[in-house]
Structure 1
């Protein structure tokens, strides 16, 4: 509204001006879109192309000092197969205990594949088809039972 129209309306209100001329007012603004934030997904989104990059790493540790490197692989979302057959019983048990604790903390999975051979998988990997047989568990050189 212009100042001229405003002034005429005041004069009309005070009784000095007899009539207010009717003018059509133009809106001098352009319509605009209000930016709305996109809704965030509630669930975990997995990139389809990323699932092809899952890797399996095989380790045959010679000593307990290699356990940190094995755990780092699982932290980096890689499945690890560890062969403990050639280690002495005490070091193999230490490695298995450390790895089992690490996998528990990372919400991963531990599966026994064979005597002295274990699969450690991160939480983003579903392990299927590796159901341990009771007869193989009893023959383990480590005398450790792992449930599937």
Structure 2
């Protein structure tokens, strides 16, 4: 440290060993950048849950949403009351993470933990086209 200070003042010449250390720091930096920007291989980004399994594993669905994973709920084979209860539960969990739940098809819903993960593309209708009957835009908005 003292030698660096004296070299900075110009009182002594700087040793070459410091240059080698700086070169190593540069290569370490490149390695760090490569590791940070390389996508990690992890769990699936989207989880598909069908039928009664969705109702039975709702706590695991909540944890997946907290971990940033999207969940597709297929509730077509579930009775109305338990299915609505699960959908309400998921909507509450998604609301807490500022996400959205979108109805993809009758009985099929996509839950995203963060609204920035979901991009909506809408088809614009002209005045002469008949409006689709009774379709709603989303299941619940968070």
Bin for the TM-score computed over the shorter chain? 0.5 to 0.7
TM-superposed CA distance for 1:99, in Å, is 0.3
Residue correspondence of structure 1 range 4-19 to structure 2 within 5 A: none
Whether 1:59 and 2:57 are equivalent positions in the alignment is no
Q: 1:127 aligns with which of 97, 118, 134?
A: 118
Higher helix share: 2
Instruction: Give me the TM-score of the superposition, normalised by structure 1.
Output: 0.55
Partner Cα separation in structure 2 for residue 110 and residue 68 of structure 1? 17
Residue 102 of structure 2 corresponds to which residue in structure 1? 111
Which runs of 5 or more structure 2 residues have no equivalent in the other structure? 9-35, 124-130
TM-superposed CA distance for 1:137, in Å, is 2.7
Partner Cα separation in structure 1 for residue 37 and residue 98 of structure 2? 22
CA RMSD of aligned residues (A): 3.5
Partner Cα separation in structure 2 for residue 29 and residue 48 of structure 1? 37
Give the aligned length: 103
Residue 7 of structure 1 corresponds to which residue in structure 2? none
CA contact (8 A) 1:77 1:124 kept: no
The structure, 1 or 2, with the larger RCO (C-alpha pairs under 8 Å, 6+ apart) is 2
Partner Cα separation in structure 2 for residue 134 and residue 105 of structure 1? 32
Q: 2:5 aligns with which of 31, 41, 44?
A: 31
Residue 93 of structure 2 corresponds to which residue in structure 1? 102
Larger of the two Rg values belongs to structure: 1
Which runs of 5 or more structure 1 residues have no equivalent in the other structure? 1-27, 34-46, 139-144
Residue 146 of structure 1 corresponds to which residue in structure 2? 139
